[in-house]
Amino acid sequence: MAPAVHIDIDHNSSTAPFDQLRLEIIEQVHSGRLIAGTKIPTIRALAVEVGLAPNTVAKAYRELGEQGVIETRGKQGTFIAAGADPIRAGAEKAATGYVQELRHVGVSDEEILGFVQSALRGAE
């Protein structure tokens, strides 16, 4: 049986329940309470546990899957993905895109690194 994902949904919040669920799972990944390879409850089981409709949980799971936070392994179930930190993954994707774009227009790696270092100094 999958370990319980402890989530409290505030039905009086202006944040949609599916988003509360999604953000809480991401927070638990960031904090280390949910680590890569952890099996999470089925949609139906989590829906019952947190008091939401299965479609609401399915929407949260779908977005988490698109963000690379969770992965479905067929009949084995749904798990926290390796490298499940969506902020880090997004940053890595942005950095890779930046480098590719600048290389495409002929900027050298040394110049790219200089741009990044200047941007970091300017952001202080």
Q: Which residue has the higher pLDDT, 101 or 31?
A: 101
Distance CA 19, CA 57 (A): 9
What pLDDT is attached to residue 1?
Answer: 43
pLDDT in tens, 7-50: 889 989 999 999 999 999 999 988 878 888 889 999 999 999 99
pTM beyond cutoff 0.85: no
What pLDDT is attached to residue 86?
Answer: 67
Yes or no: say if 57 and 20 are a contact pair by the CB < 8 Å rule.
no
Confidence category of residue 85, pLDDT binned at 50, 70, 90: low
Lowest mean pLDDT among 8-12, 26-30, 64-68, 92-96: 92-96
